[in-house]
């Protein structure tokens, strides 16, 4: 897993540039391709730098020497006197690669690295769907208006004030705008696909000038404290609030479809605004001053509840009515309140939520060989069985934890975590998981492992698939394990077929 001020001073500045560099300026503005733009005679240093970074982004695809001085190039960009540059011979090959490029990250990690300031070259990336500009010095977003396929945009920590060009990006679904001095958020009301938004507390005064964000499902805040949710725009489809540090919860009652309150904190002492939020399933309050849990008594959809308060004691009896609750953690001034152990012991297990009444598939080592493009669909192009925009994010995350536990039980019975295998933390919100095999022992057990994994998947209520791969061990391969088959690309088919036929792996040692 982000702009020029329309004022008189900037207009005069641009006019001066046009007069002084008229041939270059005209050429840059009328270029119709990346190659034509990059090869124009008088790119500014900031324009040159963006071209340099774009070429660098794809250069390894066509230049065998790319890695020879990769570290040196990175170090050079941290020099205050660094002069952007690129080889003209790389422009043509890069243009071909950039035409299909869908994701670009210019996130500046070392603060002393030269920042990106100009985005003009992005106009020539017709398939750009994801852009990360975190921690740069972009002030003019106008080139973004040409990015007709843009879906995810991280603009955090840029000195941009005017986001009006975003109104032309009708495909934007996810937008991160925190720590930018934005004075007018009204362009957001013109984004029909906007589902996720991230802002910082210092932007809330401007944000509350909006009237309505009809399709927004998730909003996330930075670390700074703000007063309450009063005055927020109408967000009738809002399902998730993450990271809010507030003095009061007032205003939450205006979002009737809320399902998840994640990492909520602040000085609030009452949960009363939650009283009528009957869709809440997951709430995590990491700090508060609440004194009563009574407002939660009428919220039977709760599955997962974590609450921490400065109060020295809490009456837990209101939680006894939450019959769907599977997970509970309460801390009063850092201590467990009386009755918590007994209440937790009475909770129903997650199995009731996620385990099928009987196996839904018959495990099988049948091998399905496909081309690489087909194999990569669920790895790079679309999430598997994610459920779409109406999916309860918290419930899906709990389902993932449940599945991980089943896989750990299976694998730990014969193998050692980190020595023989690992289940990486990375997850893209899909019903797919990765398991990595590290040792000869785990690879030799491939058929038995696959059948065990399929047994886990067959007993889940929802369809899941597992991306099973080797790392730092021979033979190298990667497969998708379905509940009733193994899917493999042509390049690894012979290797996997030999593992499937291995008698050693079929019998437990």
| Three state DSSP letters for 138-181 | CCCCHHHHHCCCCCEEECCCCCCCCCHHHHHCCCCCEEECCCCC
Question: Could you give the 3-state DSSP secondary structure of residue 480?
Answer: strand
* Widest Cα–Cα separation across the chain: 80
pLDDT of residue 503: 58
Could you tell me if 432 and 467 are in contact, meaning their C-beta atoms sit under 8 angstroms apart? yes
Q: List the 367-370 sheet strands across, edge first.
A: 367-370, 485-489, 478-482, 465-470, 432-437, 421-422
> 229, 247, 246: which is closest to 238 by C-alpha?
229
The dihedral of CA 458, 460, 465, 470: what is its sign? negative
Could you tell me if 209 and 231 are in contact, meaning their C-beta atoms sit under 8 angstroms apart? no
Could you tell me if 186 and 207 are in contact, meaning their C-beta atoms sit under 8 angstroms apart? no
pLDDT of residue 30: 62
Domain extent listing, the chain: 367-506
Q: What's this model's pTM, rounded to 2 decimal places?
A: 0.89
Could you tell me if 68 and 36 are in contact, meaning their C-beta atoms sit under 8 angstroms apart? no
pLDDT of residue 505: 55
pLDDT of residue 110: 85
235 to 153, 215, 394: CA distances (angstroms):
21, 7, 19
The token pair that represents 490 in the structure block: 């042509």
Could you tell me if 199 and 224 are in contact, meaning their C-beta atoms sit under 8 angstroms apart? no
pLDDT of residue 428: 78
pLDDT under 70 in the chain at which residues?
1-30, 503-509
3-state SS, 341-405, equals HHHHHCCCCCHHHHECCCCCCCCCCCEEEECHHHHCHHHHHCCCCCCCCCCCHHHHHHHHHHHHH
């Amino acid at each position: 897993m982000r702009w020029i001020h329309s004022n008189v001073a900037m207009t005069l500045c641009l006019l001066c540039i046009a007069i002084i560099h008229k041939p270059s300026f005209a050429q840059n503005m009328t270029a119709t391709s990346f190659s034509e733009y990059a090869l124009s005679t008088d790119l500014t240093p900031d324009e040159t730098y963006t071209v340099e970074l774009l070429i660098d982004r794809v250069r390894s695809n066509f230049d065998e020497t790319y890695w020879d001085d990769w570290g040196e190039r990175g170090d050079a960009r941290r020099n205050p006197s660094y002069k952007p540059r690129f080889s003209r011979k790389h422009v043509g090959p890069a243009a071909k690669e950039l035409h299909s490029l869908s994701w670009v990250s210019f996130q500046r990690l070392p603060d002393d690295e030269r920042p990106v300031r100009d985005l003009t070259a992005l106009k020539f990336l017709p398939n750009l769907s994801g852009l990360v500009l975190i921690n740069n010095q972009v002030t003019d977003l106008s080139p973004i208006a040409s990015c007709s396929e843009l879906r995810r945009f991280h603009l955090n920590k840029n000195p941009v004030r005017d986001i009006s060009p975003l109104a032309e990006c009708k495909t934007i679904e996810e937008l991160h705008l925190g720590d930018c001095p934005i004075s007018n958020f009204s362009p957001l009301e013109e984004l029909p696909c906007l589902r996720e938004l991230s802002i910082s507390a210092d932007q809330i005064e401007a944000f509350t000038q909006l009237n309505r964000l009809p399709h927004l499902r998730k909003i996330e805040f930075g670390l700074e404290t703000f007063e309450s949710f009063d005055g927020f725009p109408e967000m009738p489809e809002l399902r998730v609030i993450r990271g809010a540090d507030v003095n009061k919860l007032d205003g939450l009652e205006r979002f009737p479809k809320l399902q998840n309150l994640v990492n909520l904190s602040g000085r609030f002492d009452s949960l009363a605004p939650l009283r009528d939020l009957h869709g809440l399933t997951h709430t995590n309050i990491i700090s508060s001053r609440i004194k009563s849990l009574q407002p939660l008594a009428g919220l039977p959809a709760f599955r997962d509840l974590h609450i921490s308060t400065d109060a020295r004691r809490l009456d837990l009896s209101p939680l006894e009515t939450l019959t769907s609750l599977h997970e509970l953690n309460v801390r009063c001034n850092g201590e467990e309140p009386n009755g918590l152990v007994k209440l937790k012991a009475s909770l129903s297990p997650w199995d009731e939520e996620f385990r099928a009444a009987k196996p839904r598939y018959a495990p099988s080592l049948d091998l399905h060989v496909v081309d690489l493009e087909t194999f990569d669909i669920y790895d790079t192009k679309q999430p598997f069985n994610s459920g779409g925009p109406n999916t309860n994010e918290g419930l899906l995350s709990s389902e993932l934890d449940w599945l991980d536990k089943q896989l750990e039980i299976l694998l730990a019975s014969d193998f050692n975590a980190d020595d023989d295998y690992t289940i990486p933390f990375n997850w893209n919100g899909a019903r797919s998981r990765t398991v990595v095999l590290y040792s000869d022992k785990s690879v030799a057990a491939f058929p038995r492992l696959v059948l065990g994994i399929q047994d886990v998947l067959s007993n889940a209520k929802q369809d899941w698939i597992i991306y099973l791969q080797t790392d730092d061990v021979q033979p190298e391969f990667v497969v998708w394990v379905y509940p009733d088959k193994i899917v493999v690309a042509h390049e690894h088919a012979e290797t996997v077929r030999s593992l499937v036929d291995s008698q050693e792996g079929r019998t437990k040692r």
